[in-house]
Amino acid sequence: MTEISGKLTLDALKQLASDGTIDTVIAACIDMQGRLMGKRFHINFFLDSAWEETHGCNYLLATDIEMFPADGYKATSWSAGYGDYTMKPDISTLRVIPWLEGTALVLCDVLDHHDHTPVPHSPRAVLRKQIARLETMNIRAMMASELEFFLFRETYEELADGARPTPISAYNEDYHIFQTTKEESVYRALRNGLNAAAVPVENSKGEAEAGQGEINIRYADALTMADSHSIVKNAAKEIAWQRGHAATFMAKWSHERAGSSSHIHQSLWSSEGAPLFYDAGDARGMSPMMRHYLAGLLAHASEITFFLAPNVNSYKRFARGTFAPTKAVWSDDNRTAGYRVCGANTEAVRVECRVGGSDLNPYLAFAALLAAGMRGIEESLPLEDMFRGDAYSGEGREIPKTLPAATAALRDSEMLRAAFGDDVVNHYVHAAEWEQSEFERHVTDWEFRRNFERS
């Protein structure tokens, strides 16, 4: 058998099938929650026909996180019979998955079953549309997402009945080499596994809480980065599970602990490779385009919040003194602001959005940020003055505090309706309203403990 790593062509996959190295291909699309959903193919059938297309129920883009098919979506419903979507493998994403024996993975675009046009509300299509808008301007978006998550001593199965999880470390492990040495059985496997799967890892590190870590992937074009982000999350869960641990990407798993973020770095480059955000003559190296782009992010910050914080739980993360922002203001190398300028006075100058939690869908988050930034460029929006000092205690634009507030801003967003289309916005508004209604009808553990005896 052949040792393999990295991206694969179809011809390379055929060779690996013939010598028995690969026997399984996962074909997966991305659901609304950013998860991999699809099928495991025997290699013979995949090479025979499934490499061209396969099919999946269209409820996959109309369910909540529990896979419940909620009523009320225009795109699909019980009355329409829940038909199929076509899943079209993007062969440029075909790669080996080293931590799964004999397995390769390919990501799929979601197409209409009848006319094979992209399904507009599918996450990959939402992002592709914004990338295409930039391409007409001879612009390429480059992005990177820093993913934080918690690792626990227990397995998912041991925690299934509601047992309290135990963080794998006992204390804050931010940049802590000795503490993270204790966790290397997971993190080393994750770094090496991802790198061998053509997801270029820069580093892993301890984060600012007990049991919390971060994985950083090399800057890439927006679509490649979104693909990598989704693979990283799936890999972290699989590799932790294989080694007897549970990992969570909840934005806030405990009110006593810091939340987990997904900071998103972004810059624009010309198709020829010139850094469009850089201006050597500016005090911070920020070009007029960068200033307009950042002004767009700020002007539409409330409208795009849902795509950065998509769950009821997401809003528990926004708390002062936790390095999660509460204000959508910008500052230069200031971690209390929602938007931070990094790499000032270099060609790597960029905007870091610190609003997003680790529970976001990267395709939707990237698309929303690009849409807001493009509106700023199109309208030559002036950039407000930089915030200085502690944004937690200062004045400034508040990040929506609840899912209903973010949903209302999304519903009323003319900018996103123009960029995404009414049907796409309405689809995700309905998803947000369903999530809130499900929360409101359930009794939480906090309510039970607080009221059972004392009421």
- 66 and 204 in a single domain? The answer is no
Closest CA to 358 of 321, 324, 403: 324
Tell me: do 253 and 287 sit in the same domain: yes
Identify the pLDDT of residue 2.
Answer: 53
**Measured between alpha carbons, how far apart are the two ends of the chain, in Å?**
66
Residue 3: per-residue pLDDT: 63
Distances (CA, A) of 147 to 107, 317, 403: 20, 15, 22
Identify which of 150, 130, 151 has the alpha carbon closest to the alpha carbon of residue 141. Answer: 130
pLDDT in tens, 214-234: 999 999 999 999 999 999 999
Rounded Cα gap, residues 32 and 432, in angstroms: 11
List of E strands, 244-302: 246-248, 262-270
Q: CB within 8 A of 451, min separation 6: which ones? A: none
Number of Cα atoms under 13 Å in the Cβ half of residue 119: 31
Indicate whether 86 belongs to any domain.
yes
Low-confidence ranges of the chain (pLDDT < 70): 1-3
Q: Are residues 362 and 303 in the same domain?
A: yes
**What does the alpha-carbon distance between residue 349 and residue 287 come to, in Å, rounded to a whole number?**
9
Same domain assignment for residues 107 and 255: no
In the 8-state DSSP scheme, what is residue 48?
A: I
103 within some domain: yes
Out of 57, 81, 115, a domain closes at 115
Residue 394: per-residue pLDDT: 84
**Domain contains 286:** yes
Predicted local distance difference test score (pLDDT) of residue 317: 95
Q: Could you tell me the two tokens for 363?
A: 């395709």
* Distance between CA atoms of residues 244 and 246, nearest Å: 7
Residue 123 domain flag: no
d(CA 206, CA 190): 14
Do 314 and 259 share a structural domain? yes
The pTM for the full model equals: 0.96
Q: What angle do CA 260, 218, 275 make, to 5 degrees?
A: 110
Residue 410 maps to which CATH number? 3.30.590.10
Range of the domain at 53: 10-115
pLDDT for 1 equals 45
Does 442 reside within a domain?
no
Domain total in the chain: 2
- In order of 104, 133, 148, the CA distances from 145 in angstroms are 24, 22, 10
The answer to whether residue 124 is domain-embedded is: no
Q: What is the pLDDT of residue 290?
A: 98
